[in-house]
Structure 1
Amino acid sequence: MNVEVDEGKCVASGNCAAFAPAVFDQRDDDGTVILLDATPPESEYERVREAHPRCPAAAIVLHENPPVRGA
């Protein structure tokens, strides 16, 4: 999984940091999202998937890795 954020879209709701605090944080001055880990470990995938649709500004973009064939 790869995660991207669009800081320009962020409305500082904090949902991302609430659902996946190991991957997202917020700036102290204005609450804008901070991406802590663009390639989180698999143990964080479910939390990131929960945070993604809860972003009211659609500032989070997820890229799921395709399965490796023949592995």
Structure 2
Amino acid sequence: MLIGRPVAWLVLQFLAVAAVVATVATALSWRRHRRDLTYSDRLRLGLLTVGGLVFLPWATYWGLLMP
């Protein structure tokens, strides 16, 4: 136990926050370089962004993004 929570839960919370940060970074990179990207790059970044956006409500539902 650490801070009143199991260590495994804290690790999952940290990973959830890291996934959300990575999603935001991916979306910003996609937007910043959209003119220089090939079709496959756009598809890859689009799928990563959509996956991150789907992850956000799921992680919120399970309380992974709650302090």
Same-fold status (TM-score > 0.5): no
* Higher fraction of helix: 2
User: Which TM-score applies when normalising by structure 2?
Assistant: 0.29
User: Which TM-score applies when normalising by structure 1?
Assistant: 0.28
* Higher fraction of strand: 1
